[in-house]
């Protein structure tokens, strides 16, 4: 268990306490669920995409909102090359695998780095939540950028968020960030549905489990902060490869042992809300 050092910065704390929350639901959906992590590269986008597909397989109507305006992943992970249509007022989500999707990556050249200032982040997120014609959805899954910054604040303070899932890898350094994420959502009054331990272990050719990044840290952190531990997802090269090819594992092989883990998470969420 890492030392419990991380605290929110003074600037972040000031921003949180300054605003009176007026929370608008995203029109066209019943429930909005964020997939978050304070640390980058732990598998949020992979989780968000497969979770959305798993909910769809369970019969839910699902949207996937890529809120990572700095490094959008949804276009690549779902193999989407088309641009959303606009009527001059509102954008139509792009539909892939029966999921309604929106990403800044549909609107910009993905190889160009995007430099966003705080108010621009807020405005992009407002566009995605208020100016997209999401239609008859049970859930919107929001793939958050890493960190505890303006995107998280805008969602938590201005948009009705029904829950957040925090994804982490088991390294000590990632766990410190998990604690920061827990504190942020608690402070902002967003219900944390639970913590997921991603890339927990690797099964070698010898059939043995190798816990490359350490063991049990995410679970211990969940227990310490009285949050639910949702479970482990192994590190499996298929997951990465299929994500890169634009047909995530849940879509291309729903019988795979890892797809079943995502379906299990999805079932939990479905039962919680519907």
Ligand X SMILES: Nc1ncnc2c1ncn2[C@@H]1O[C@H](COP(=O)(O)OP(=O)(O)OP(=O)(O)O)[C@@H](O)[C@H]1O
Q: Choose between 77 and 230: whose C-beta lies nearer to Mg ion.
A: 77
The minimum distance between CB 136 and Mg ion, in angstroms, equals 27
Of 10-18, 66-74, 154-162, 184-192, the segment contacting ligand X by CB under 6 A is: 66-74
Which one among 105, 149, 243, 246 touches ligand X, defined by CB under 6 A? 243
Closer by beta carbon to ligand X, 61 or else 213: 213
The entry of Mg ion, ligand X, none near residue 54 (CB within 5 to 8 angstroms by kind) is: none
Q: 138 or 239, CB closer to ligand X?
A: 239
The footprint of ligand X on this chain (CB under 6 A) covers a number of residues equal to 20
What DSSP assignment string belongs to the chain? ---S-----HHHHHHHHHPPP-PBPPTTEEEEEEEE-SSTTSSHHHHHHHHHHHHHHTT--EEEEE--SSS--HHHHTT--PPPPB-SS-BPPEEETTEEEEEGGGTS-TTS-----HHHHHHHHHHHHHSB---SEEEEEEEPPSSSSHHHHHHHHHB---EEEEEE-S-HHHHHHHHHHHHHHHHHT--EEEEEEET--EE-TTS-EE-TT-SSHHHHHHHHTT--EEEEE---HHHHHHHHTT--HHHH-TTSHHHHHHHHHHHHHHHHH-
Binding to Mg ion (CB under 5 A) within 243-272 occurs at none
- Residue 63 is a binding residue for ligand X (CB under 6 A): no
Q: Does 239 bind ligand X (CB under 6 A)?
A: yes
Measured from the CB atom, the residue of 61 and 149 that comes closer to ligand X is: 149
Which one of residues 54, 164, 233, 263 is an interface residue with ligand X (CB under 6 A)? 233
Footprint of ligand X on residues 180-219 (CB under 6 A)? 198-199
């Amino acid at each position: 268990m890492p030392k419990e050092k991380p605290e929110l910065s003074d600037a972040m704390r000031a921003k949180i306490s300054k605003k009176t929350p007026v929370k608008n639901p995203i029109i066209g959906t019943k429930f909005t669920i964020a997939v978050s992590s304070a640390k980058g590269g732990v598998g949020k986008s992979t989780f968000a995409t497969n979770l959305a597909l798993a909910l769809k397989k369970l019969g839910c109507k699902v949207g996937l909102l890529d809120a990572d305006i700095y490094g959008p992943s949804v276009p690549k992970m779902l193999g989407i090359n088309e641009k959303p249509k606009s009527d001059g007022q509102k954008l139509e989500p792009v539909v892939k695998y029966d999921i309604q999707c929106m990403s800044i990556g549909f609107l910009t050249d993905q190889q160009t780095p995007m430099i966003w200032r705080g108010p621009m982040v807020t405005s992009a997120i407002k566009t995605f939540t208020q100016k997209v014609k999401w239609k008859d959805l049970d859930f919107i899954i929001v793939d958050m950028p890493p960190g505890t910054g303006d995107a998280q604040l805008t969602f938590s303070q201005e948009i009705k968020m029904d829950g957040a899932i925090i994804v982490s890898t088991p390294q000590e350094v990632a766990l410190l960030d998990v604690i920061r994420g827990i504190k942020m959502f608690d402070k902002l009054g967003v219900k944390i549905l639970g913590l997921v331990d991603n890339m927990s272990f690797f099964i070698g050719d010898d059939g043995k489990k190798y816990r490359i990044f350490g063991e049990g840290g995410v679970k211990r952190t969940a227990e310490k902060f009285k949050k639910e531990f949702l479970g482990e997802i192994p590190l499996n090269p298929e997951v990465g490869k299929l994500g890169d090819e634009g047909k995530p594992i849940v879509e291309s092989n729903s019988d795979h042992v890892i797809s079943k883990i995502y379906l299990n998470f999805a079932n939990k969420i479905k039962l919680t809300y519907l």
